[in-house]
């Protein structure tokens, strides 16, 4: 019962985690779209207001130009309140022939001389024309006949331009911030995980060391006694001590920087399989395939054995103790050593493929969900290699691929 609960608990935990990630992504998307949409609303309102303002500006200029009453107070007031008061929208009033007449709210570089200013304003006119068509104002004579035209060019105020880009700048800054925080967080989490792995492994190796050397001494003592020398008990004890030594050496290798030695992978795997074959169901057949008799790669033998053992044990479980494991070893074009381990088991559903290497993920009653985490750690962190599921099909089997640097 407890095991089933444990299993369900683990699955729920992993599922909830991916649901949470999904929720955060959706939320981030809506915040992003929402903030762009809202700023766009404001930008459009402001645009409308600026449009009105510039039209008023144009009308005023037109009225002033055609004013025959002389500069009375009303005219001055209009001029002050509308023309002078526009301190935000950049405008250029140009003659019919395109020559600029006056300009306002433009940042003309101080270093320019007369001709250069003219050129600058003409370029600016083209730029403005691409944003908005100019407003035409008519100059009339005293009879009210139009004798000339002037053009008012204008563009968005810098406030409006800034506001248009603001949400993108803001969202980019926030995204960079979150990305950096995520990096820092995952870096510190990896560092913490490393400390836990290394610490636990070292401590286990250390704890096993004392009773193990004591046991070895006892066996030597028994061997020296003619009564026990060739008895089963001494042989069995010897075997168990060898197994304990192997476990200790695995833990001590995980707990320190492991020494990698150039080994013939074919032989390493053959020895490992010979050892395993006697310990698993006799209805599971393990076949080795390799074209070359020698495939050299740098490995730490106790750790690499552990990898093969874990993957094969999982395969045996997936086949419920009946089936075939094919191990294919080869060298790739780039000189890498490729090891494919294929079983004829129940396969891994696509939805779980991304999770099987996560610590604590198991679908077994008595599983810890640590086997593949350890395997990945050994291959990627200690051997700078790669491990992944090459293929998996329901009820047909799974193939794991290990890539080592040759």
Ligand X SMILES: Nc1ncnc2c1ncn2[C@@H]1O[C@H](COP(=O)(O)OP(=O)(O)OP(=O)(O)O)[C@@H](O)[C@H]1O
- Per-residue binder mask for Mg ion (CB under 5 A), 322-361, x = binder: ----------------------------------------
User: Least distance in Å: CB of 344 to ligand X?
Assistant: 10
User: Least distance in Å: CB of 231 to Mg ion?
Assistant: 36
Q: Give phi and psi for 203, each to the nearest 5.
A: -60, -45
* Closest residue to ligand X: CB criterion: 371
Please say which residue, 156 or 314, places its beta carbon nearer to Mg ion.
314
Q: Binding partner of residue 315 among Mg ion, ligand X, none, CB under 5 to 8 Å per kind? A: ligand X
User: Least distance in Å: CB of 384 to ligand X?
Assistant: 21
371 binds Mg ion (CB under 5 A): yes
314 binds Mg ion (CB under 5 A): yes
Q: Binding partner of residue 331 among Mg ion, ligand X, none, CB under 5 to 8 Å per kind? A: none
User: Least distance in Å: CB of 251 to ligand X?
Assistant: 15
Q: Binding partner of residue 338 among Mg ion, ligand X, none, CB under 5 to 8 Å per kind? A: none
Q: Binding partner of residue 272 among Mg ion, ligand X, none, CB under 5 to 8 Å per kind? A: none
Binding site for ligand X (CB under 6 A): 310, 314-315, 318, 343, 345-348, 356, 361-364, 367-373, 398
Q: Tell me, by CB under 5 A, how many residues bind Mg ion.
A: 2
Please say which residue, 170 or 399, places its beta carbon nearer to ligand X.
399
Q: Binding partner of residue 348 among ligand X, Mg ion, none, CB under 5 to 8 Å per kind? A: ligand X
* Closest residue to Mg ion: CB criterion: 371
Please say which residue, 152 or 318, places its beta carbon nearer to ligand X.
318
The stretch among 14-22, 31-39, 50-58, 311-319 that binds Mg ion (CB under 5 A) is 311-319
Binding site for Mg ion (CB under 5 A): 314, 371
């Amino acid at each position: 019962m407890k095991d089933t609960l444990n299993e369900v608990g683990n699955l729920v935990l992993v599922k909830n985690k991916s649901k949470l990630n999904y929720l955060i992504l959706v939320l981030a998307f809506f915040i992003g779209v929402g903030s762009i949409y809202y700023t766009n609303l404001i930008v459009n309102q402001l645009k409308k207001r600026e449009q009105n303002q510039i039209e008023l500006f144009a009308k005023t200029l037109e009225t002033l130009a055609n004013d025959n009453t002389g500069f009375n107070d009303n005219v001055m007031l209009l001029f002050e309140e509308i023309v002078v008061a526009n301190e935000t929208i950049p405008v250029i009033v140009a003659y019919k022939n395109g020559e600029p007449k006056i300009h306002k709210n433009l940042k003309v570089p101080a270093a320019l001389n007369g001709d250069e200013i003219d050129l600058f304003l003409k370029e600016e006119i083209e730029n403005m024309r691409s944003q908005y068509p100019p407003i035409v104002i008519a100059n009339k004579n005293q009879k009210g006949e139009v004798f000339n035209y002037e053009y008012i060019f204008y563009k968005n105020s810098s406030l409006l331009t800034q506001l248009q880009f603001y949400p993108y700048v803001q969202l980019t800054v926030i995204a960079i911030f979150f990305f950096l925080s995520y990096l820092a967080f995952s870096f510190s989490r990896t560092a913490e995980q490393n400390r836990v792995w290394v610490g636990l492994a070292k401590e286990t190796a250390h704890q096993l060391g004392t009773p193990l050397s004591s046991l070895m001494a006892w066996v030597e003592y028994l061997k020296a006694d003619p009564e026990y020398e060739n008895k089963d008990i001494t042989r069995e004890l010897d075997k168990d001590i060898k197994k304990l030594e192997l476990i200790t050496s695995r833990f001590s290798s995980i707990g320190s920087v492991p020494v990698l030695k150039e080994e013939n992978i074919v032989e390493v795997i053959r020895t490992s399989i010979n050892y395993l074959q006697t310990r698993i169901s006799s209805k599971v057949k393990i076949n080795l395939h390799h074209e070359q008799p020698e495939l050299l790669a740098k490995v730490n033998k106790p750790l690499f054995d552990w990898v093969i053992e874990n993957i094969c044990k999982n395969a045996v479980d997936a086949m419920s103790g009946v089936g075939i494991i094919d191990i294919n070893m080869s060298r790739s074009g780039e000189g890498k050593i490729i090891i494919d381990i294929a079983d004829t088991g129940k396969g891994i559903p696509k939805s779980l493929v991304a999770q099987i290497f996560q610590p604590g993920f198991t679908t077994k009653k008595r599983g810890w969900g640590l086997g593949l985490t350890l395997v990945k750690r050994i291959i990627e962190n200690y051997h700078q290699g790669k491990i992944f599921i090459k293929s998996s099909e329901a009820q047909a089997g799974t193939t794991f691929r290990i890539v080592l640097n040759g």
